[in-house]
């Protein structure tokens, strides 16, 4: 069975945080997901914190300039690793 991750600022997942909802049973999954969503719906601070953390993760890991820099690093490494003729 798949697992569903709900991001939150209180546990760690690659510099973000999450609440893990285990789908052990249909009823357990529905209850866990409902509880996590209610917690989020009832806490403006939690929503703000999660939104800020998500935005920061996107900014740090999915920025086009960072992607271009990483691609250039890979190209340079490939060139450096090629045997010289």
Tell me the C-alpha distance between 74 and 42, whole Å: 45
77 phi, psi to nearest 5 deg: -65, -40
Residue 45: DSSP 8-state: H
Model pLDDT, residue 14: 37
Low-confidence ranges of the chain (pLDDT < 70): 1-22
Rounded to two decimals, the pTM is 0.49
Q: What is the pLDDT of residue 31?
A: 85
Distance CA 9, CA 60 (A): 17
The per-residue pLDDT for 74 is 95
């Amino acid at each position: 069975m798949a697992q569903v991750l709900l991001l939150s600022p209180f546990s760690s997942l690659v510099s973000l945080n999450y609440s893990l909802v285990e789908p052990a049973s249909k009823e357990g999954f529905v209850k866990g997901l409902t509880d996590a969503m209610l917690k989020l719906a009832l806490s403006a601070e939690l929503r703000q914190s999660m939104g800020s953390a998500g935005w920061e993760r996107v900014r740090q890991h999915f920025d086009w300039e960072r992607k271009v820099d990483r691609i250039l690093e890979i190209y340079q490494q490939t060139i450096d690793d090629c045997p010289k003729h």
